[in-house]
Amino acid sequence: MARLEERLKDKARALGFDAVGIAPAAVPEAAATGLETFIAEGRHGTMEWLAATLARRRHPRALWPEARTAIVCAMNYGPPQGLDPLARPKRRAHGVVSLYALRRDYHAVIKGRLKHLAQWLVKHTGAEVKVFVDTAPLLERPLAAQAGIGWTGKHTCVLSRAFGNWLLLGVILSTARLAPDAPARAHCGSCTACLDICPTGAFIGPRRLDARRCISYLTIEHSGPVPRRLRASMGNRVFGCDDCLAVCPWNRHARAASEAKLALKEELLDLPLADLARLDEAAFRRLFATTPVRRAGYRRFIANVLIAIGNSGKAGLADPAAARLDDPHPLIRAMAVWALHRLWPRETWRARRARALVWEHDQMVRAEWLADEMERTA
């Protein structure tokens, strides 16, 4: 009879996981220290929850003292054949949503399968289990490397020889003592393609990310206006960014996602910015129902769309941006002002500014109307 570990992996694959590995319930010291440095240097931006949960993230047993084994499962979400993620930012009048978010929210899909696998493990060992999918203070990526799923690429994401870097992770912690797999070895070599392509220069070195400059952070996690110096580099990316993933040479071995519940929603692929700018909150929720895009929230998303409109160079997109000058949310008004500053003729801009400054009292929005004057006199 096959060993328990092999039967566990067979069960995981039968449930739809593309890769599975086993590791001790312990994060390598280098990974824990790297997170500490990341937070100490302020590179986590406004993600205060990372700092608040640092002690528990350092070690899975701080989260659950009885844990002995981590079972790491991965689902492939590779793009379908013929879809070039690096070509999408070139369609300047369309909004780009990161590929992982153009499908059903993976948290629900993976968690359901993990629960089935955990129940199988309980049945065959009597051990206790806990299931995690990116919603608890657990360092999944270092655990994935320890479990042999893949190594941590220079872009800080898990990279696999079989699937490239298109992998979504889930973890089962258990009191069972299972034989661990060999940790994955890094195969990046001297390649720096992922570091070099970043539109905003968010990497300060291999495996050293400054989230405050990362488009994924800026379009999803960041609160408040995106710093002016970074907006032009965001292009038409309105939720996340795939550039550092898509450029990786190991993706030549990648394959399209096979899990039906993670099928790409092609109707959401590169929607016109004009249509996105006209969404009200109810329409936003309907359009992106069941997808991760809702996580950004309506205000953040529309603000991202307006930045993309400002970067489009399309004068015809000024009208949907101008319609947002009366929006009740200051962040949206402020980004509409920025977009129109880049699209309107100078005379139109100055005339509208003179009128707006009479009634606009929000300091963030006023700062956008006055930004060019302040920059000129700085």
Q: pLDDT truncated to tens, each residue of the chain (378 aa)?
A: 469 999 999 999 999 999 999 999 998 888 889 999 999 999 999 999 888 888 888 888 888 999 999 999 999 999 988 889 999 999 999 999 999 999 999 998 999 999 999 999 999 999 999 999 987 888 999 999 999 999 999 999 999 999 999 999 999 999 999 999 999 999 999 999 999 999 999 999 999 999 999 999 999 999 889 999 999 999 999 999 999 999 999 998 888 888 888 999 989 998 999 999 999 999 999 999 999 999 899 999 999 999 999 999 999 999 999 999 999 999 999 999 999 999 999 999 999 999 999 999 999 999 999 987 655 444
Beta strands in 15-166 (DSSP E): 19-24, 69-76, 94-97, 129-132, 151-152, 158-159
Which pLDDT does position 377 carry in this prediction? Answer: 42
Q: What angle do CA 355, 359, 360 make, to 5 degrees?
A: 100
**DSSP state letters, 133-177:** SSSSS--HHHHHHHTTS-EE-TTSSEEBTTTBT-EEEEEEEESS-
* 47-82 confidence digits (pLDDT tens): 998 888 888 888 888 889 999 999 999 999 999 888
Q: Which of 145, 165, 250, 243 is nearest to 199 (CA)?
A: 243
- CB 187 within 8 Å of CB 151: yes
- Cα–Cα dist 272/316, whole Å: 12
Which pLDDT does position 82 carry in this prediction? Answer: 85
Which pLDDT does position 322 carry in this prediction? Answer: 97
- Show the tokens assigned to 218: 């800026």
Quote the pTM value.
0.94
Phi, psi angle pair for 189, to nearest 5°: 60, -140
- CB 98 within 8 Å of CB 216: yes
Which pLDDT does position 1 carry in this prediction? Answer: 47
Which of the following is catalytic: 10, 134, 196, 326?
134
Give the contacts of 186 (CB within 8 A, at least 6 positions apart).
Answer: 151, 152, 153
- CB 164 within 8 Å of CB 190: no
Q: Is 134 a catalytic residue?
A: yes
Which pLDDT does position 330 carry in this prediction? Answer: 97
Which pLDDT does position 127 carry in this prediction? Answer: 97
